[in-house]
């Protein structure tokens, strides 16, 4: 007599606090892992950028060079360089080992809200309050951007790069997706200032959060609304959003599953939705399951044009 094999457990979201780090930077504006997750970057209102060991929680190096608070940072794929942006309207490219400023880039007319390397760390992309996204060649000795994307009608609050695509969110309430290879621009109108955007793991969906305390999951190609989630009661606060990093061939919107969202004040909110409307967007489906029909039939307008 053979017993049936036990059912595999569903992936578990983190529930235990592993470590608390006192950054001593005043208000911490952003926290970013490096490419392999072994190191942590913290951006402070004291004008500094700090590098931490995740396993030990110790400070490895402090980078000072900005004239005002540091708002965002990113690390290159090989951990040799960092880039950061600030309210002083500049970007800085840092050498990780020496802590020296490799290049200081000026050109934005307002504070720089977000910054990211491309996959090869050959280009830095920055989004600013001046409504532009600027692309900077890290190998060139010239200090002018190689491309300026100025379609936004208000400040650019968030950007994400994935292969040849660039996703931006703006205070004008629009999520813009640039296909840099084809020279095309696609726009989804959300109607509320966008605070954060990201791609799904399979690259087929986009996730965005806005000042109306709503998180929206859209089909990348058609702009169709796949899910709309409201749970935070305090409107007007900046809301970040993210999708699970587990590699699955598909995504699903399910009710009655655990949801994870990064909420106001930098708190990670883990909620268990028991039927009805779920509070947060999440996302994983076992590989042997099919996607359910879309829970929302409404579509956001998608506009094609030259980037």
Q: Report pTM.
A: 0.74
The reply to whether 102 falls in a domain is yes
| Residue 10, domain member (yes or no) | no
Residue ranges making up the domain that contains 45: 31-245
Q: Residue 298: pLDDT band by 50, 70, 90 thresholds?
A: very low
d(CA 211, CA 236) in angstroms, rounded, equals 5
Task: Categorize the per-residue pLDDT at 106 as very low, low, confident or very high, splitting at 50, 70 and 90.
Answer: very high
> Are residues 242 and 262 in contact, defined by beta-carbon separation less than 8 angstroms?
yes
Query: Is residue 106 in some structural domain?
Result: yes
Region of poorest pLDDT, from 13-27, 30-44, 93-107: 13-27
Is residue 15 a part of any domain in this protein?
no
Nearest to 302 by CA among 144, 160, 187, 182: 187
More confident site: 54 or 293: 54
Identify the sign of the CA torsion 74, 212, 46, 41. Answer: negative
Residue 57 forms part of a structural domain: yes
Give the highest mean pLDDT range of 199-213, 235-249, 253-267. Answer: 199-213
The tally of domains found in the chain comes to 1
Would residue 138 count as lying in a domain? yes
- Inter-residue contact 180 to 166 (CB < 8 Å): yes
Report the pLDDT value the prediction gives residue 280, as an integer from 0 to 100.
36
- Would residue 235 count as lying in a domain? yes
Give the up-direction half-sphere exposure of residue 227: CA atoms within 13 A in the CB hemisphere. 23
260 domain residue, yes or no = no
Among candidates 194, 176, 182, 173, which has minimal Cα distance to 133? 176
**What is the per-residue pLDDT for 306?**
30
Domain CATH for 231: 2.130.10.10
Q: Residues 253-293: pLDDT tens digits?
A: 332 333 444 444 444 443 333 333 333 333 333 333 333 33
Query: Quick check: 22 pLDDT over 70?
Result: yes
CA atoms within 13 A on the CB side of 6: 3
């Amino acid at each position: 007599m053979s017993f049936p094999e036990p059912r595999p457990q569903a992936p578990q979201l983190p529930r235990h606090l592993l470590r608390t780090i006192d950054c001593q930077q005043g208000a911490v504006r952003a926290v970013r892992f490096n490419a392999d997750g072994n190191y942590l970057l913290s951006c402070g209102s004291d004008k500094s950028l700090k590098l931490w060991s995740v396993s030990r929680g110790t400070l490895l190096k402090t980078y000072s060079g900005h004239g005002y608070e540091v708002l965002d940072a990113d690390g290159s794929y090989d951990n040799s360089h960092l880039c950061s942006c600030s309210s002083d309207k500049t970007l800085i490219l840092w050498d990780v080992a020496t802590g020296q400023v490799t290049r200081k880039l000026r050109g934005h007319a307002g504070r720089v809200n977000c910054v990211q390397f491309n996959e090869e760390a050959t280009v830095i992309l920055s989004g600013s309050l001046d409504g532009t996204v600027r692309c900077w060649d890290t190998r060139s000795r010239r200090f002018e951007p190689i491309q300026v994307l100025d379609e936004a009608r208000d400040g650019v609050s968030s950007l994400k790069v994935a292969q040849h695509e660039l996703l931006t969110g703006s205070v004008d309430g629009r999520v813009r997706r640039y296909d840099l290879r084809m020279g095309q621009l696609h726009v989804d109108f959300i109607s509320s200032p966008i605070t954060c955007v990201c791609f799904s793991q399979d690259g087929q969906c986009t996730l965005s959060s806005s000042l109306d305390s709503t998180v929206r999951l859209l089909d990348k190609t058609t702009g169709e609304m796949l899910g709309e989630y409201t749970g935070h009661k305090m409107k007007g606060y900046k809301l970040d959003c993210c999708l699970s990093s587990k590699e699955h061939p598909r995504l699903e919107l399910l009710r009655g599953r655990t949801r994870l969202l990064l909420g106001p004040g930098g708190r990670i909110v883990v909620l268990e939705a028991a039927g009805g409307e779920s509070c947060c967007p999440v996302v994983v489906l076992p590989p042997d399951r099919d996607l359910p029909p879309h829970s929302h039939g409404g579509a956001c307008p998608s506009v094609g044009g030259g980037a």
